[in-house]
Amino acid sequence: MEDEVSPRTRASNTRAQTPALLKGLLFGPDGAAFSPTHTRKGGRLYRYYVSQTVLRHGSGTTEISCVTAGEIEAAVIDQLRIVFRQPEFVAGTWKAARAHADDITEAAARAALRQLDPLWDKLFPAEQARIVTLLVERVDIGTDGLNVRLRVDGLVGLAREMLAERIGEVA
């Protein structure tokens, strides 16, 4: 006889498998935080972020009440991927990393950051969430789009991690 899994355990496992990448990082036009939540319909899981303003004061109290988790997370990841390819970003990360380890070359920093793009989809969700938390300080969503504010110290730390992995592969 098979063991039945309680709904609470199943929900906990589902959340563990699909962590909210932007938990604590997403804010609306009124400055209120957005919290991750989900619902099930027809056996299917729907994830989204809802404004704290709406949770406290009801719908119609803010311009943006909720956003689909998959869409907003994908938009933030797309912006990160674009940033990783910008030469001035690579040069800035390299200069900041050199303050901690002067043997890092700009070419090595560029290669390390470029390797993150194809590697992203192969990472476990928990590792993706760790990297987003490391890199992103805040995401402001508005009616005109979103603004992703990055953490410079996190970028340097990630570049150093990626460099260490590249050096480990070569050795």
Helix (H, G, I), strand (E, B) or coil at 167: helix
CB 69 within 8 A of CB 47: yes
Whether residue 60 lies inside any domain: the answer is yes
What is the tally of helices (H) and strands (E) in the chain? 7, 6
Rounded Cα distance, 128 and 119, in Å: 10
CB 28 within 8 A of CB 62: yes
Domain with 108 in it: 7-170
Whether residue 2 lies inside any domain: the answer is no
How many domains does the chain fold into?
1
Whether residue 101 lies inside any domain: the answer is yes
Q: Can you state the angle between helices 69-85 and 87-98, rounded to 10 degrees?
A: 80
Residue positions counted in the chain: 171
**pTM of full prediction above 0.85:** no
pLDDT at 52: 92
* pLDDT, tens only, 130-155: 888 888 999 999 888 899 998 877 77
Whether residue 155 lies inside any domain: the answer is yes
Rounded Cα distance, 127 and 16, in Å: 12
* pLDDT, tens only, 74-127: 999 988 888 777 777 777 766 766 666 666 677 776 777 777 777 888 888 888
Q: What are phi and psi of 48, to 5 degrees?
A: -160, 170
Whether residue 95 lies inside any domain: the answer is yes
Whether residue 38 lies inside any domain: the answer is yes
Whether residue 1 lies inside any domain: the answer is no
